[in-house]
Amino acid sequence: MNRAHLSKLHVAPSFWKQSATMFKKPKRKFRQRLVKFESDDENEEEMDTEGTPPRVQVKQELNKSIKEKKKKEKSKAVLSFDHDEGDTTFQVKKSTHSKKVAKLLKKESQLEKQTEAGDKEDKTANKIDGDLANIKEEAKDQQDMEDRIKKLREDFLTMNGDDAAALEEADSDEEGTFKKMLKRGEIPDATTIHQIRKQRQMARDMGDFLPLDDTVKFENTKSRLVREDDNDKSDDEDERIDFSSNQHAIERQKVKENFLRAEHGSDEGSDQEREWEDQQIQKGVSVIQQVPSSQDLYSYDQDSQPADGMYSNGYPGTSGSHGYQGNMIPVAEGGFPDMPKMMMKSTEDVTLEGLIKRLKDRLTSMDEVHRSHKQESDKLEHDIEESQMSIVNCEASAPKLEDRFRFFQEMRGYVRDLVECLNEKVPEINELETRMNNLLRNRSSKFASRRQQDIQDQCQSYMTNKSQVVVDVDNQARQRRIAEREARRARRRRAREGKNIMGHHEGLSSDDEENQSEITKYSQERDEIVNRASELFEDVMDDFSDTDCVREKFMSWKHKYGDTYREAYIGLCLPKLVNPFVRLQLISWNPFDERCKDFEEMRWFDSLLFYGFEEGETIDKDEDDNKLIPAIIDKVVLPKLSYLAENVWDPLSTSHTCRFVKLVKKLLKDYPTVNANSKNTQTLLKSLVLRMKKTLDDDVFMPLYPKSVLENRNAGPSVFFHRQSWTCIKLLGHFLSWDGIISRKVLQGLALDGLLNRYILLGLQTAPFNQETLLKCQTIVSTLPKQWFEDLNEDKTIMQLESLCRFLMYAAQLLDKACGTASDLQRKELKEQLKQISKLLINIHALEHAMKLSELYSLTAK
């Protein structure tokens, strides 16, 4: 019968290594015990039944039963494979070896049952001792019997029918290699197991071979073959271990029974095995598709066989015809029906150009990999060089960093100590500052109260209606105030005469003189506060007692580590640190006092004026250190001036007003932080306006008397009237001196509406018009800022001065009437006064009134 050459798949050793892990090497103890009872059939027949032991008799009976079974009919099955060349039929037959093994195993199982029963009934029997002695003698030939058993099992597992006969005629080298593998106790590789299963499947399909139920055979074992099956029960949770006596004998008996049952079993499970074989073929195909070249596909001739073994699987003792032997896939001449067409690709498709292209592609990919590795290597070398340079630099900069760290630690401690010191001293500074402010405010309030009382006393003294005069109970106190008032006026008059001051009028002087007792008391309190302020930092170390020490510390920081100095915003923090020292030195500063020195002459100003500058350095306008002094002016000086303006400043005092206006204008001009957008500046201006309003409400008084009373210039009422009139005109000049500082609209409302039109013009209209009245008008016009009239386009003056223009036109009419009855000398004087009135109208930009006056009275401007 012709045999078809089945293709054998050679796959990578890694694949078989992975597949080998699916099988566990079975225990071989049952083989050792089976050897004790196995012997050749010929030896069993020659033994005498009467003189042989019971076990040998059982074996003879088994041989007889085997001979009887030979006469039974054998079923035949035909297995066919579709092929392009034609159909090939395989006839499966049972070999004589398998039959002998089956009979032998059956006898051995019966012998084991009898032996176990005899051992349980009579353990001390002499027959058992004899049997044990025979067993010991037979154990000497254990190695030889074991080789024979391996050969029988190998033949049984791999051969059936014609296959066994064909294998006997095969090459002796191949059979020797396979037997040597079994003799060494090695587990057959996955390829061998797969080939045996394919032969078994073909036998089952022919109908002449019953399936082997591995699950039942190795039910109580953990065989690697059983675990590969889907019905594996080796890991079943319900599995129990039998601890009964003679466990090895029980297991050996079960192995025999399972083996016989598998030998004569049914075809159950053949479909599952076929499905498993198909899956394995698909895995082999997937491995073939991953082979990089077609050189891995080759074929065997019909009669050719491997020289060193059927398969090249990487095991010891096997080899292939190529160095790539683990991935080679031999294909039969006719091909395998279930194989994809890719496996049938012949070597004729391989061309030189294709090989060159593949080599070039491979070279290109290797160049890219090499290039990436080279870049990574260069990067690592560069990183190593940078790391080494960094180490060198760090070691070189370690001393500098140590000094830097030490400096910052010292600076940190100094700042903390400075802040703690200032936190202790600031409450005391606030207390001293409050005491000085209260002292100045009380003094100013006393001057204002005394002036108001004097006006009240004079008003009561010069009232025309005597019946309405209220009798003063405290007449002595009033007389004392009158005496003191007159004494102060006499002292001022003598002082003016000594200075040869001309053009002075009663009411223009400031009544702010004090007697000696008041001066002494004020001086004592002031000196006490100043002394306490000078002693405040005596209990403090020199590094924390003055602005000079603070400046030196932070200057050293800026010069050594300017970057960290700027990052810490010391330029913004420094004004707050020196704030307490500046406030302490400004406690005794009173800009209204003639003897008080300017703040720019104080020690703190000189210390901080050139802070942050060195010779040869360029000045950066945006640097915060340049704003140190302006920041101090804004944070310290302006709040103090706001308090002084609202509580200490006397708008009726010419000296106070002149010094104050001069100081504020200087601040606006020299310090950029003093501007309209500054909150402290706005607070200062609001304080000025509030103080002016308060003066208008409390200190301004214009008495009204008949013209007959006022015609007597030396009379008391007339003197009092003209004094108050000149006082209001003086106050008007003080208000208008704030032009350019206070808003024009606000200032015009205070000076013109609140003072000129409300008080001054009322007094001018009440008094007879004479040379003194004209002089008052000229003084009023001279105090008006000229900037107010520069932007006027029409012939009219500002609206608030229309009342003054009407009064001047009325005065011109009076002068014109007086010219009709006056003498020539008087007429000449009156004409001169008319011309002066016209000039006043022109000065206040009342051109319309001036032209009308010129037309009416035929005046010519000179």
Strand partners, 742: 739
Return the closest-CA partner of residue 680 out of 738, 625, 641: 641
Exposure string for 42-73, b = 16+ CB within 10 A, e = fewer = eebeeeeeeeeeebbbbbbbbbeebeeeeeee
Is 214 in contact with 262 (CB distance < 8 Å)? Answer: yes
Return the closest-CA partner of residue 702 out of 755, 777, 775, 769: 755
Q: What is the amino acid identity at position 741?
A: I
> Alpha-carbon distance 554 to 572, whole Å?
12
The neighbour count for residue 757, using CB atoms within 10 Å, is 16
Q: In degrees to the nearest 10, what's the CA dihedral of 421, 427, 429, 434? A: 170
Return the closest-CA partner of residue 436 out of 527, 538, 521, 535: 527
pLDDT of residue 48: 43
The neighbour count for residue 104, using CB atoms within 10 Å, is 24
Grouped pLDDT means (10 residues each) for the chain, 862 residues = 39 43 46 42 43 50 62 44 42 57 75 64 56 61 70 58 46 50 71 80 66 46 43 44 62 77 55 78 67 42 39 38 39 42 53 90 94 94 94 90 92 93 94 94 91 88 56 71 86 81 78 84 92 91 88 90 90 91 93 88 90 74 85 94 94 92 93 91 94 93 87 87 92 93 93 92 89 91 91 86 92 85 83 89 90 77 43
The token pair that represents 59 in the structure block: 């074996």
Consecutive H or E run containing 299: strand 297-299
- Cα angle 61, 66, 67 (rounded to 5 degrees) comes to 100
> Alpha-carbon distance 199 to 8, whole Å?
13
Count of H helices and E strands in the chain? 33, 4
pLDDT of residue 526: 93
Task: Supply the pTM of this predicted model.
Answer: 0.57
> Alpha-carbon distance 107 to 99, whole Å?
13
pLDDT of residue 51: 45
Q: Of all residues in the chain, what percent are helix, strand and coil, respectively (each to 5)?
A: 65, 0, 30
Is 49 in contact with 57 (CB distance < 8 Å)? Answer: yes
Mapped onto helix, strand or coil, the DSSP state of residue 65 is helix
Query: Helix/strand/coil (H, E, C) string of 306-345?
Result: CCCCCCCCCCCCCCCCCCCHHHCEEECCCCCCCCCHHHHC
Q: What is the amino acid identity at position 208?
A: D
Is 227 in contact with 24 (CB distance < 8 Å)? Answer: yes
β-pairing verdict for 297-299 and 88-91:
unpaired
> Alpha-carbon distance 363 to 695, whole Å?
103
pLDDT of residue 307: 38
The token pair that represents 185 in the structure block: 């106790």
**569 burial level (CB within 10 Å; 0-12, 13-18, 19+):** exposed
DSSP 186: P
**247 burial level (CB within 10 Å; 0-12, 13-18, 19+):** exposed
> Alpha-carbon distance 9 to 287, whole Å?
10
> Alpha-carbon distance 423 to 279, whole Å?
89
Task: Report long-range pairs for 171-178 (Cβ below 8 Å, ≥24 apart).
Answer: 171/305, 173/307, 173/308, 174/305, 174/306, 174/309, 174/310, 177/308, 177/309, 177/317, 177/318, 178/154, 178/309, 178/310
Question: Backbone dihedral region of 860: left (phi > 0), alpha (psi from -120 to 50 degrees) or beta?
Answer: beta
Is 797 in contact with 807 (CB distance < 8 Å)? Answer: no
